[in-house]
Amino acid sequence: MPPKKKGTKAAGEAGETPEEGAKEEKEEKPDAKVEETPKAAEAAPSAEPEKPKEAETPKEPEKPKELEEDAKPIKGAKVGTVGFDMSDATLNVMPTAGGSLLMTLSDGGLQYLLASVRSNTGVKSGRYMFEVKMVETLNPAEGQNGKARAPAPRHLVRVGFSTKGSSVFLSDGPDNVCFDSEGFFIHEKKRTKVSQKFGRDQVLGVLLNLDSSSPNKNTVSVFRDGQRISEPQALPENLQGQTLFPTITYRNVTLQVNYGPSPLAPLPFKCHMLSDASEKDVQVTAAPKEGKCEVLFPVGLPDTGLFDWVDGFLAKNPNYTELSDRKILEWAAKSGLWRQKGYSWKATNDDPEMGFGIPMMDDNSVSRLLTAIAPTLKRNFVVMQLKSNLIASERAESLSRFGSEHFNKVASVVMGEPSSEYKTMIQDLLLAEKKKKADAERKKKSMEAERKRLAEERQKKAEAAKKARLAAQKKDKAEEEDEKEEAKEEEKKEDAMEDEGPPPELTEEEKKVTHRTMDASDLATTVLAKAFANFAIPSKSEGFTSVKFEWQPEKDCAKILKDYVHEKKMTERVESLNPGEWFTDEWKKWTKTLQEWRSRQSQWKDPIKRKQLLAKKKRI
């Protein structure tokens, strides 16, 4: 049987007819003409061998641009109205238009301070969002001729989430996370550029995803005018599983806040607003009780622990707001204002020096404004002014600002032997300070030891290299010595770690301490000298609703104050004494007589005038 020609098929193969096979052979003949034999292919050096086709790797499916999916309808009861929790908001926050606008006071130094407020509804599960729109930017006057050094940026907005009871300022502490108007994602001191800036007339949507079934679970996202401007940012581990409250921090702007139910700028997917959330997914802060608020006036002697007592009271009662200069300093520090020279020698706890170099901050304008604003707000206050609270006339002036129809006025007298609770708090504070100092000292020693070790290693390597160059034959011996030295170093390291010693504890003398020694005194010596004679125990007759004696009964406190004033009269220079009329007249007579005597003395020293005086005396 003759072989089949190349490029042809046998007739009838695969069901083909002879006519179909002949047709196929004619079509393939041109290809046969260009074929070469293996020898011809070898003889043609320019011909390239045909490359085998590589197997194409299957392409991975592209990641979808948006992983968030449309929200499912919510079943059951919903939250409804969402508002602001004003119990811990800064005093310059001014909500208006039914809570849809957030304004801020921007005069008398308040234009330098951040305003911050938290929502009264927190998210504990599910996926929800809220919106903020900058509707106005303010440009208040700044100092003299506008040359004051203001913190930058002048207009700032931070939006994010924080835990209940944490600092109301975003980017202050580990218990919050936020985006700012400069495009940064912030947690504690870490600032990461993750998005574009946003400004006036732009709607900013902030989305919190706590849905465990979502690919973006435990993340926060930010959208501008309905478009994503940042990848979902993972929540820090310490915030996962927490109830997170929407929080807004801003300066020199007016904001429109939208909690829903309808968005101002819809997202590419359907998402529920916070006011449309299921009651099961949120936690609502208890509304303030109806009735009067309380204003507390702590009364205590200087340098006897009154400021520590107030700190303990505020820790147990976070719904109270302290009115004092020291709190203004804390507020300014969190707003980006820093004192270049720090504390001066004139600084005291009751009257700390501002020293910002900004006229409206240094002239106590902020304190005067807050004193005027506080009585108009329905909040609980602690008026922490040590000197003023000890003097009846100044107490009366402070009491007159707070109307009796809105406030219960309470005086808390903190004098004498402290309570056991206060003593325990002081012991804890002293131990914490001691541990902090010990940790700092240990860290310093560790760094010094590491520096010495590295220096010794460099020296040994240099010596070893020198020895190797001079005596190659002793190389083995040198290596053995190096190994021994390294073993000794490891032993030294282990010994050093073992020598860290037990944790610091209070000594017997420290355990007897009832009042901490502060970095600064409570009152300046000159202020105390002028004021102590007027110190007095408060009473209901002054206008107080009640007077509480925290440590000792009223009689004991009265005796303690009387003994204190008597001791100061015996030991301190009294600056407030004024001479009477009799003394003033006698002083004038004495001054006139003394001048006459001095005039006669000067005349007597002059020989010519002396002769005249003697001659006059003889004539008499």
Higher pLDDT, 411 or 27: 411
Phi, psi of 185 (to 5 degrees): -105, 125
Task: Answer yes or no: are the C-beta atoms of 206 and 255 closer than 8 Å.
Answer: no
Q: Rounded to an integer, what distance in angstroms lies between the CA atom of residue 156 and that of residue 265?
A: 21
Task: Point out the domain boundary residue: 236, 265, 284.
Answer: 284
**pLDDT mean across residues, the chain:** 83
Single out the residue in 235, 264, 284 at which a domain terminates. 284
What is the average pLDDT across 604-613?
A: 86
pLDDT at position 43 is 40
Note the pLDDT tens digit of each residue in 513-563. 888 888 888 998 888 988 898 999 999 999 999 999 999 999 999 999 999
Give pLDDT, residue 9: 41
Residues of the chain with pLDDT > 70, as a percent, come to: 82
Q: Identify the band that residue 36 occupies on the pLDDT scale cut at 50, 70 and 90.
A: very low
User: What's the CA angle centered on 235, arms 232 and 237, to 5 degrees?
Assistant: 150
Q: Does the residue 438 lie in any domain?
A: no
Residue 98, pLDDT > 80, answer yes
Question: For the segment 140-177, what is each residue's pLDDT rounded down to a tens digit?
Answer: 877 654 455 677 888 999 999 999 989 999 999 999 99
The pLDDT value recorded for residue 497 is 46
Residue 109 covered by a domain: yes
C-alpha to C-alpha distance for 260 and 275, rounded to whole angstroms: 5
Q: How far is CA 359 from its chain centroid? A: 24
For residue 191, give both structure tokens.
């600032």
Q: How far apart are CA 410 and CA 590, in angstroms?
A: 53
Q: How many angstroms separate the CA atoms of 261 and 445, rounded? A: 59
- Model confidence at 276, pLDDT cuts 50, 70, 90, reads very high
Question: What pLDDT does 520 receive?
Answer: 85
Name every residue whose Cβ is closer than 8 Å to that of residue 524 and which is 6 or more positions away in sequence: 346, 348, 351
Q: What CATH number corresponds to the domain at position 161?
A: 2.60.120.920
DSSP string, 328-383: HHHHHHHTT---TT-S-TT--SSS-----S-HHHHTTHHHHHHHHHGGGS-SEEEE
- DSSP strand pairing (245-251 vs 156-162): antiparallel
- Calculate the alpha carbon distances from 167 to 89, 118, 164, 233, 436 in Å: 10, 10, 9, 21, 22
Mean of the pLDDT values across residues 499-513? 75
Which one, of 226, 219, 155, lies nearest residue 187 by Cα? 219
Long-range contacts of 337-340 (CB under 8 A, 24+ apart): 337/112, 337/113, 337/151, 337/361
Distance separating alpha carbons of residues 195 and 220, to the nearest angstrom: 12
d(CA 439, CA 58): 57
| 245-251, strands of its sheet edge to edge | 84-85, 115-119, 245-251, 156-162, 176-180, 184-187, 190-193
Within a 10 A sphere around the Cβ of 156, how many other Cβ atoms? 18
Q: Which domain holds residue 108?
A: 84-284
What's the pLDDT score for residue 555? Answer: 94
- The verdict on residue 273 lying in a domain is yes
Judged by DSSP in three states, 15 sits in helix
Total number of residues shown for the chain: 620
pLDDT score, position 161? 97
Whether 246 has a pLDDT exceeding 90, the answer reads yes
The whole-angstrom separation of Cα 133 and Cα 254 is 9
6: pLDDT confidence band, cut at 50, 70 and 90?
Answer: very low
Average pLDDT rounded to a whole number, residues 298-314:
94
Which stretch of DSSP H or E encloses residue 149?
Answer: none
Of the two residues 610 and 323, the one the predictor is more confident about is: 323
Boundary-marking domain end, from 228, 259, 284: 284
At 314, the pLDDT band (50, 70, 90 cuts) reads very high
Q: Are 402 and 409 in contact (CB under 8 A)?
A: yes
Contact between 513 and 430 under an 8 Å Cβ cutoff? The reply is yes
Separation CA 174–CA 227 (nearest Å): 29
Check residues 409 and 145 and name the one with the higher pLDDT. 409
Residue 589 reports pLDDT greater than 70: yes
Q: Is residue 257 within 8 Å of residue 100, measured between CB atoms?
A: yes
Are residues 128 and 116 in contact, defined by beta-carbon separation less than 8 angstroms?
Answer: no
pLDDT band for position 29 (cuts 50, 70, 90): very low
The region of weakest confidence among 99-108, 246-255, 434-443, 539-548 is: 434-443
Looking at the predicted structure, is the pLDDT value of residue 573 above 80?
A: no
State the total domains in the chain.
2
- pLDDT-derived band at 453 (thresholds 50, 70, 90) equals confident
DSSP designation for 303: T
Is residue 194 in a domain? Answer: yes
Q: Tell me the C-alpha distance between 22 and 529, whole Å.
A: 128
Let me know if residue 280 belongs to a domain.
Answer: yes
pLDDT at position 486 = 59
Give yes or no for a contact between 553 and 413, defined as CB atoms under 8 angstroms apart: no
Instruction: Check pLDDT > 90 for residue 49.
Output: no
In a domain, 252, yes or no: yes
The pLDDT tens digits of the residues spanning 462-493 come to: 888 877 777 776 555 555 565 556 555 555 55
Is 145 contained in some domain? yes
